[in-house]
């Protein structure tokens, strides 16, 4: 197999993953290009690699930056923005993405609590059904927060995997 074919397979894999997650395939192609690159890439570099327009790439880049998979960097003396892929756990961990998730979890909890407060003193089977659903959502919310907080305590993927493997062996 040739190097170019291997790169094509990786790019297609990331594009397919993006599609499965409800994103444009372009998001996957951009991440693939950055993942395979040895140096930071500009929007025009990415456009050349992917064949998409700079305006489409710029829009998709906002998605990738928003979830912490891509980081924007500046090169001294160059006004253009360059981008690198977040390739490992510690880079992703240092991005603001997981803090955004925690903030979303906390905001969701506050909203559920406000909804429960609104139902105080209300009667009826529909009210009781909604209260139960909200209580279940609170439990899921708390589990999500605990899991994310626990995962983010690890310094590397290897450390996290060792702990997970150890837990699985105990089962």
Residues 6 or more apart whose Cβ sits within 8 Å of residue 17: 28
Residue 85, SS3?
strand
In angstroms, what CA-CA distances link 148 with 46, 72, 97, 157, 165? 32, 25, 11, 14, 18
Could you say which DSSP state residue 21 is in? Answer: T
> What's the CA dihedral at 39, 40, 46, 49 to 10 degrees?
0
pLDDT (tens digit per residue) in 138-152: 999 999 999 888 887
Task: Report how far residue 87's alpha carbon sits from residue 92's, in angstroms, rounded to the nearest whole number.
Answer: 8
Assessment of whether the complete model's pTM goes beyond 0.85:
no
Is 171 a residue whose pLDDT tops 70?
no
Contact predicate 130/119, CB 8 Å: yes
Q: Which residue has the tokens 């912490």?
A: 68
pLDDT digits (tens, 9 = 90+) for 102-150: 888 999 999 999 999 999 999 999 999 999 999 999 999 999 999 888 8
Measured distance CA(157)–CA(165) in Å, rounded: 12
């Amino acid at each position: 197999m040739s190097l170019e074919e291997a790169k094509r397979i990786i790019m297609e894999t990331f594009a397919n993953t993006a599609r499965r997650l409800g994103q444009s395939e372009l998001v996957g192609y951009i991440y693939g290009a950055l993942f395979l690159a040895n140096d930071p890439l500009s929007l025009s570099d990415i456009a050349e690699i992917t064949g998409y327009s700079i305006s489409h790439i710029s829009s998709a880049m906002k998605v990738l930056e928003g979830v912490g998979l891509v980081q924007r960097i500046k090169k001294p003396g160059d006004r253009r923005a360059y981008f690198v892929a977040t390739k490992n756990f510690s880079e992703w961990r240092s991005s603001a993405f997981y803090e955004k998730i925690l903030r979303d979890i906390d905001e969701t909890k506050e909203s559920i609590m406000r909804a429960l407060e609104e139902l105080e003193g209300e009667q009826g089977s529909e009210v009781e059904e909604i209260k139960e659903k909200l209580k279940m959502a609170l439990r899921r919310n708390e589990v999500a927060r605990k899991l994310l907080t626990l995962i983010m305590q690890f310094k590397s993927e290897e450390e996290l995997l060792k702990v997970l493997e150890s837990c699985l062996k105990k089962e």
